[in-house]
Structure 1
Amino acid sequence: MTGTAWLRRRIEVARSSGDRGSETIAAAIVTPLLLVLLCLAIAGGRIVTSGAKIDAVAEDAARAASISRTYDSAQAEASGAAARSLADQGIHCASISTSVDTSGLAVPVGQVGTVTVTISCTVALSDLMLPGVPGTKTLTSRFTSVVDAYRSREG
């Protein structure tokens, strides 16, 4: 067999070896898996971002409560600030709970007190991830703000 005939025979064997189309099959298997992985990464990022937004809401509510002079106004200010901050952040809660610990308002003038606000917001997963995803997730955050030691207080 001459060198050219041998080379032609090798090319024919390689073409008919049955490996044709294996790249297409591999791409058909791998592409959906990569798309699912990408969607999961985006969903995880959106959940983390929403958690950070709830942290900002708790911080705003705690600061508003710490500026108040009475227990009742601290509760009202914290709830109002939380509602405004949620609207600013673009978060739509199915249910929201605002808990305010105003024991720091009872300390005597000249001593430092704190006000702690806990925000719990239940959000539909279809708002966090992709439309049509069933279920809800409760995002909770707590923030403590210092009460000015030398401002007047009312019980």
Structure 2
Amino acid sequence: MSRAGAARRPPDSGSVAVEAAILVPAVVALALIVAGVGRIQTTGGVVDAAARAGARAASLARTPEGAQQAAEDAARGVFSEQHVPCTDLQITQPSSDPVTVNNGALQTVDVRVVCTVRLGWLLVDGMPGSKTLKGEFSSVIDRYRSAG
């Protein structure tokens, strides 16, 4: 080809379409990954909220049996309100620990919540696998609560 033939060649038409065909799937994949990480973080927040609610409810109970039932009811209530389907929900028996502060000792109650969620619910429906999320919280037992 001579110089005159090269000068008459049309500009690179269609290069934008090729670039878009390469870049668009990568951008969409990145957006889906960001959305998936956001869903996992949000669900982790729900698990933490369930642990907080369980510990607070257990700290108000009068008996260890009542504390366990209150913690379970409060945690399950949070999952129900937030529509998070745990395939394997575990709520540990609330344990009590003393904490020393300036004015003496305080009792706290600790609750741990473990929730396994299907990746199909978190990310893309039909995706195999699951993610286990854990939350733990301590609440101070009110020493001035009434006996009845």
The TM-score bracket by the shorter chain reads: 0.7 to 0.9
Q: Secondary structure at the match of 2:140?
A: strand
Distance 1:11 1:98, change over 3 A: farther
Distance in 2 (CA, whole Å) between partners of 1:15 and 1:141 is 69
For residues 60-139 of structure 1, the aligned pairs below 5 Å read 60-104=53-97, 111-139=105-133
- Structure with greater helix share of residues: 1
Cα RMSD (Å) of the superposition?
Answer: 2.3
| % identity of equivalent residues | 40
Q: Gapped runs of 5+ residues in structure 2?
A: 99-103
Give the structure-1-normalised TM-score.
0.81
Aligned to 1:144: 138
CA distance in structure 2 between the partners assigned to 1:149 and 1:111 by the alignment:
10
Matched, 1:23 2:16: yes
Partner Cα distance (2:126, 2:105) in 1: 52
What is the number of residues matched between the two proteins? 140
More strand by share: 2
Residues 11 and 138 of structure 1: CA distance in aligned 2, closer, same or farther (over 3 Å): farther
Give yes or no for contact 2:55–2:94 (8 Å, CA) kept in 1: no
Q: Secondary structure in 2 aligned to 1:100?
A: coil
Structure with greater Cα Rg: 1
